[in-house]
Structure 1
Amino acid sequence: METPTTAAAPPPRRRSAWRIARNVALALLGLIVAIWLVLYITKGRFLKHPFERFVGGQTHRVVRVDGDFQLYFAPFRIKFLAERMRIANPDWATRPYLFQAERIDTRIAPLSLLWGKRRLYWLDLANGAVDLEWNAAHTANTWTFSDKKGGKPLDFPRIDTATVRGTTVRYRDPRMQLLADLKVDDIRSTDARIGKAVGVTGDGTIRGTPFRVAARLLAPDATVNRGRNELVLRAWAAHNVVDVSGTLPSIAGIEGVPLQTRARGRNLSELLAIIGVVIPNTRDYRLKAQLVQQGQVYRFTRMSGTAGESDVAGTLTITNGDRLHLDSQLVTKTLDIVDAAPFIGYNPDIVAARGAVAAAAATGAAPQRILPDAALPIATMQRFDADLKWRIGRVRSRNLPISDIDLTLDLDRGRLALSPLTFAMARGNVASDVIFDTRQRPAADSYDIRLSPTPMGRLLAGYGVAEAGTTGTIKGRIKLEGRGDSIHDSLSSAHGRIAFVMPQGQLWTRNVQLAELDIGTFVQKMFEDKLKKPVEINCGLIGFTVRNGIAAADPILIDTTKNVILGRGGFSFKTEAVDLAFRADGKKFSLFSGQSPVGIQGYFAAPKLDVISDQLLGRAGVGLGLAVVATPVAGVLAFVDVGDAKSAACGPVLAGATAAAQRTTKGKPRDDVGRGTTAKEENGKADAGEKKEQRKKFLGIF
């Protein structure tokens, strides 16, 4: 009988390797248990200095713990406690420490560290202080420990249970000139739930302007779980209130997140001045928009609201790069004329309450002046750039029928160009190019304003001209260049030409003959109730040559079927004084013609019509004397116009030519029009160069 064979025993070498592996595993486990036991018993306090050196080496910062320190597994969670802990800021920062805390006690999930998600089971933080700063070049921040350009956004761990007391945060951004000191309300949460809104309050300055802020996190339970963060914030600065609300992906992550913004205040220019942007003053405003921030770009879209009595809508993009740049597209349906006052330097509130003269005086203008004397904000204009396209449907005004304004603005390193600026006026169109170049000192300014043929009936409807029955039109151009940092200064030094041309047409007013300045005929027909015919204009020119801010008639010449109307004198942009005299020479016999000048004097703000002139009073005196010593019929002879006025050749008139180029219908030079000089110059005090210059034709206007 055979005996059964037994299984072959493992080779001695294999048994030895298995035992070695088992023994090593047991030894490692024993070592881990021993280490755990040592750490658990000692609470890992002996690791304080190695912890400081290790974390300091990884962050390239000095790390100090001046109080109790614990670091160990308890039992499967990492227990970390540090009292009077400090993490230093980089050398360029203005504060020595990025983080300080009287006490930080937390439990950390070990596996979360392996996966980079950082979960804290609970956190107890007492009297923490965080300092967040950007460097001047905006290439690094204090909370990014690597040399990565631009810095990383703030990133917070998930916290299940937290107690936070006495925490403050300081934020500084030199590029935005922003400094904020914030205090976080105490937080107590259990089971990843806080249960009530968390508030943040504080104050600070932005570009030298003080502000205060109050914010609330409406969904803090979602925040600690890295979910939805419903943020509501309100800030007060420079008489403005700004509200911001939105849902953030993390408590400090606003990049790419749509935020709803609302702003209100007494003057929108005060709000934008906070970020170093200058715009004309406004009245009370209310605006809302959606804000999305991407890096250095802040885009406000779906913007709408009101400023004063005007509406506004559109978009605004602010780029906070090496130079602040604004890019905006705006649409306004109705612009109130008072709200347009700031565009020429007036305060709209003063205009609305006390008028243009008071508004001009508020800018420093002398009494009786209306041109604003407010200087351009040179320094601010040279600090930022802007592009603006603005479309305005109509302007609400009693006297000026303006609509369809299309404005393009370009501000480039101190050179402000309103080009083109177009608008419709009384069924005519105005195109202009206005430039203020503050790169030159004082500023080099130019005005080029062109009026296409415009019906006078609608244009002058607010000044007594009847639209029905008026077929006359007017076109013109103002081309001036000057130097100065205000509108008044630039016009006070201006040189150039002003010319308005009237082609053939009819002009209808209730006082028709007064429009022709034939005072005698006007009085006669007024009593006969025969003011029923319009003025028949053959052609007309109102032209001025401007030198050093003084505008002299060159010429004023209007040819009608019955009269030739002539004007002399001028006005001054320096003092805003007006001294013009008009007279009508009849082409036909007129029994009651005063044949005397009608003067316009005073100032831009308060012109005066002088109808009863010295010449007219003299004729009345002569007539009265003749009536006394002779017969009443003889007294009428003092007012007889024999009708010898010379009709004007309309070619030079319609070409906008200077006085020297004007001719009669027979081709002879006219000797009854001004020469574009002041009265003193016409009396022989103008030098030869000026007399030659005044006779040059202003080419290229028409």
Structure 2
Amino acid sequence: MRSPTWRAVLKWTALSVAGLFVLILLLLAFADWNRLKGPVERMASARSGRTVKIDGPLDVHLWSLTPRASVEGLVIGNPPWEANRPMARIDRLNVQLKLLPLFKGDIILPRVELVRPEVYLHRDVQGRANWTFQNTRPSNAPAGKPPKLPVIRDFLIDDGRLTIRDEILKLKVDGTVQAHESIAEKETFAFHVKGKGTINEQPFNLSVGGGPLINLDPDEPYPFKLQVRAGDIRVESDGTVKKPFDLGKVALNVHAKGGDLADLYYLTQLALPNTPPFELSAHVERNVKMVKVTKLAGKVGQSDIGGALTIDASRKRPAVTGDLHSRQLRLKDLAASLGSEPETPGSLEGAAEASKPAAKNPNARLFPTSHLQVDRVRAMDADVRFEARTIDAGSVPMQKVAFHVKLDDGVLALAPFELELPQGQLSGTARIDARGKIPQTKLDLRAKDVQLDQLKGKKPDAQPPLTGVLQGRAVIEGQGDSVHDLMADADGRVSFILPSGQVNAAFAELTGINVARGLGLLLKGDDEKAPIRCGVAQFEVKDGRMRADNVVFDTKDVRIQGRGEIRLGPEELDLSIKGEPKKLRIARLRTPVEVHGHLRDPSIGVDVGKVATQGAVATAIGAVLTPIAAIVAFVDPGLAKNENCAALLDSA
């Protein structure tokens, strides 16, 4: 008997496999799928990590190039930490699938129909989200990839309900979802998501709309429109999903305006600085976890801004890099980022009123009291450069501002920042370590070759009180989550030196009294000047108190000394400035000039008690001797000597 050939074996094997395949198809075609609900539920629960239940009938039709399935009473549960309610409940779900595109790796669903779906999305304060499968991750873990959904040609949603609760963004939204084959009467879009609620306890409205999906192609972009209203922030966008429905590849043209850029944190989770009202537009492209912001243009306060940014969301903390620039920067528009109160709170339209003089607040502080939001500083990294080509700084002439912002693992640095004057430069570094409970700050500020005669105000006939080239440095360390708290705790040293210069009689005009006479300068006219041989002002800073350690200005005829302190916490001045003449002076008040009051509004004058004492001495001498002899009380022998300027400047 001949043994079977290999061809016969192959033939019978193929027939057996084909027969088995046909048998399986017949079993699947005529099977009672409701008997398989249990295995389907268990398999779906195991794959998703959620409890999946089918309360109604299950029906599957396989004999077609577009097989379909229908299920009623579908319930998808939440992870164990959110077990109070299901994540989704759908009265009826109908799904149809194209078989042939599967061979190319494309999933195309000709029809998806959801009847009365209810979806609940929740993220807790720890960053766990019920819509991801990494629900034990902390809030500082890298963000998951955006969902990539199959192409849906005919998407019908009837009476959909959407509930969103995000405890990090303080977002509460209850909305509706509708999708139809065509645009219905009185509707703008065939696909429409509407939501209403609150964000950070402010009103929130969301609207997303798109066209019919009936002719959607997986290789053609799908356009949509987005509108968001969050408090006083308005965001409008025309966008496209480049490869439907891969939400990781989206392009948007965005227009946004509002009262403060920092409020965009609740929409973007980016720690942006506080600002006056803004209006900006930009082109945004998202490629999975990389977001590029280009063509950024608009206004912040009364300053223009432009540039480009890149956001990397693949890291443990999202990182922002880029370059920004301004053609015309108003320096007051930077004040809010340091914690100062905005000039015109509320809406963008209020910026037009910024030029109007505001009523003076008697309780206003020089050092802002707004607190640094350390949780936001710790939640992202940044490396951004900014440069302004022209500056509006009021009476201070400035030509350029540039700074480099670095934020890395809770440490915020300006390294460096520069403010250029027509003659001179202000520069330095700042470092805020917000990793601990209380932020630690170190400032190193420098004034280099600053010509004092350029600081004379904007009046045509304005004269500078001092002339000369000023050099200075301030090194301050302290702790606190506001500028005020930092200064109230500050330690360090502040030094200024003036190698030479002149003091003008106009200095008296700034005080309301004849300071020049009180210091013994005896200037007669506004245009007269007294040469300054050298000058030094050094302050030791300890626990928020600036004590005058070495304050000496030596002029040709008078040696001027200062003493006292500046209390940075209450922002109070207690300084005394005394002039000692080098020549005989007759009819001179031997009393120092006193500087008191608040830093924002100091009072400058002479000690009335000491003047009265000097007058009483003169009266007594006149009564005992003669009236002419009373002049002796107002005579200063002028025993002061020239300061050793070389040694004085060297010590500073």
TM-score using structure 2 length: 0.77
The Cα of 1:537 is off from its aligned counterpart by 1.1
Measured in 2, the distance between the counterparts of 1:474 and 1:422 equals 17
For the pair 1:580 / 2:575, whether they are aligned, the reply is: yes
Q: Secondary structure at the match of 1:340?
A: helix
Partner of 2:483: 487
Q: 2:375 aligns with which of 360, 379, 392?
A: 379
The Cα of 1:230 is off from its aligned counterpart by 1.5
CA pair 393-219 structure 1, distance change in 2 beyond 3 A = farther
The Cα of 1:132 is off from its aligned counterpart by 8.0
1:155 maps to a residue whose letter is: L
1:399-445 residue CA offsets vs partner (Å, 9 max, x unmatched): 32234222122233332222222212352112212222233554433
For the pair 1:348 / 2:346, whether they are aligned, the reply is: no
Q: 1:102 aligns with which of 86, 91, 101?
A: 91
Partner of 1:453: 449
Relative to structure 2, which stretch is displaced further, 621-630 or 386-395?
621-630
Partner of 2:74: 86
Please list, as runs of the form range in 1=range in 2, the aligned pairs for 1:651-662 lying within 5 A after superposition: 651-657=646-652
Please list, as runs of the form range in 1=range in 2, the aligned pairs for 1:204-603 lying within 5 A after superposition: 211-218=204-211, 220=213, 222-223=215-216, 227-320=220-313, 321-349=315-343, 358=361, 367=363, 369-425=365-421, 427-440=423-436, 442-461=438-457, 471-510=467-506, 517-519=516-518, 526=524, 530-603=525-598
Partner of 2:349: none
1:86 maps to a residue whose letter is: L
CA contact 2:328–2:390 (8 Å) conserved in 1: yes
CA contact 1:85–1:102 (8 Å) conserved in 2: yes
Q: Secondary structure at the match of 2:486?
A: helix
CA contact 2:465–2:507 (8 Å) conserved in 1: no
CA contact 2:299–2:305 (8 Å) conserved in 1: yes
1:533 maps to a residue whose letter is: E
CA contact 1:55–1:63 (8 Å) conserved in 2: yes
Identical pairs, percent: 23
The Cα of 1:465 is off from its aligned counterpart by 9.9
Measured in 2, the distance between the counterparts of 1:465 and 1:532 equals 11
2:548 maps to a residue whose letter is: A
Partner of 1:46: 32
Measured in 2, the distance between the counterparts of 1:210 and 1:494 equals 41
Q: 2:158 aligns with which of 155, 158, 165?
A: 165
Measured in 2, the distance between the counterparts of 1:465 and 1:600 equals 27
CA contact 1:333–1:393 (8 Å) conserved in 2: yes
Measured in 2, the distance between the counterparts of 1:105 and 1:532 equals 92
1:288-336 residue CA offsets vs partner (Å, 9 max, x unmatched): 1121223333332221211212222223333333223333432123332
CA pair 111-642 structure 1, distance change in 2 beyond 3 A = closer
The Cα of 1:560 is off from its aligned counterpart by 1.1
Measured in 1, the distance between the counterparts of 2:235 and 2:265 equals 12
1:158-210 residue CA offsets vs partner (Å, 9 max, x unmatched): 53x665422456789999898876533241359xxx99643221257879987
Measured in 2, the distance between the counterparts of 1:541 and 1:431 equals 20
CA contact 1:550–1:571 (8 Å) conserved in 2: yes
2:424 maps to a residue whose letter is: G
For the pair 1:606 / 2:601, whether they are aligned, the reply is: yes
Q: 2:116 aligns with which of 114, 123, 127?
A: 127
The Cα of 1:261 is off from its aligned counterpart by 1.4
TM-score using structure 1 length: 0.72
CA contact 1:45–1:71 (8 Å) conserved in 2: no
CA contact 1:158–1:224 (8 Å) conserved in 2: no
CA pair 579-130 structure 1, distance change in 2 beyond 3 A = closer
CA pair 613-402 structure 1, distance change in 2 beyond 3 A = farther
Q: Secondary structure at the match of 1:185?
A: strand
The Cα of 1:387 is off from its aligned counterpart by 2.6
1:647-678 residue CA offsets vs partner (Å, 9 max, x unmatched): 10101222244xxxxxxxxxxxxxxxxxxxxx
Relative to structure 2, which stretch is displaced further, 315-324 or 177-186?
177-186
The Cα of 1:108 is off from its aligned counterpart by 5.6
Measured in 1, the distance between the counterparts of 2:496 and 2:600 equals 21
Larger Rg computed on CA atoms = 1
1:355-395 residue CA offsets vs partner (Å, 9 max, x unmatched): 7984xx9xxxxx57432333433333333333332223344
For the pair 1:155 / 2:152, whether they are aligned, the reply is: no
1:22-73 residue CA offsets vs partner (Å, 9 max, x unmatched): xx9xx99xx99x969x96xxxx573443587579758955876655555457
RMSD: 4.6
The Cα of 1:533 is off from its aligned counterpart by 2.5
Q: Secondary structure at the match of 2:249?
A: coil
The Cα of 1:233 is off from its aligned counterpart by 0.5
The Cα of 1:454 is off from its aligned counterpart by 0.9
The Cα of 1:276 is off from its aligned counterpart by 4.6
The Cα of 1:77 is off from its aligned counterpart by 5.9
1:202 maps to a residue whose letter is: G
2:482 maps to a residue whose letter is: S
Please list, as runs of the form range in 1=range in 2, the aligned pairs for 1:173-184 lying within 5 A after superposition: 183-184=176-177
CA pair 282-177 structure 1, distance change in 2 beyond 3 A = closer
CA contact 2:70–2:95 (8 Å) conserved in 1: no
Q: Secondary structure at the match of 2:216?
A: helix
Q: Secondary structure at the match of 1:485?
A: coil
Q: Secondary structure at the match of 2:310?
A: strand
Please list, as runs of the form range in 1=range in 2, the aligned pairs for 1:30-69 lying within 5 A after superposition: 44=30, 46-49=32-35, 53=39, 67=56
Measured in 1, the distance between the counterparts of 2:155 and 2:483 equals 63
Measured in 2, the distance between the counterparts of 1:99 and 1:443 equals 43
Q: Secondary structure at the match of 1:272?
A: helix
The Cα of 1:581 is off from its aligned counterpart by 1.6
1:624-653 residue CA offsets vs partner (Å, 9 max, x unmatched): 677788777555554333332211010122
Measured in 2, the distance between the counterparts of 1:479 and 1:225 equals 61
CA pair 414-50 structure 1, distance change in 2 beyond 3 A = closer
CA contact 1:77–1:107 (8 Å) conserved in 2: no
Measured in 2, the distance between the counterparts of 1:397 and 1:48 equals 77
The Cα of 1:112 is off from its aligned counterpart by 4.7
CA contact 1:132–1:142 (8 Å) conserved in 2: no
CA contact 1:426–1:459 (8 Å) conserved in 2: no
Q: Secondary structure at the match of 1:457?
A: helix
Q: Secondary structure at the match of 2:332?
A: coil
Relative to structure 2, which stretch is displaced further, 501-510 or 284-293?
501-510
Partner of 2:3: none
CA contact 1:257–1:292 (8 Å) conserved in 2: yes
CA pair 471-187 structure 1, distance change in 2 beyond 3 A = same
1:425 maps to a residue whose letter is: L
For the pair 1:198 / 2:191, whether they are aligned, the reply is: yes
CA contact 1:52–1:63 (8 Å) conserved in 2: no
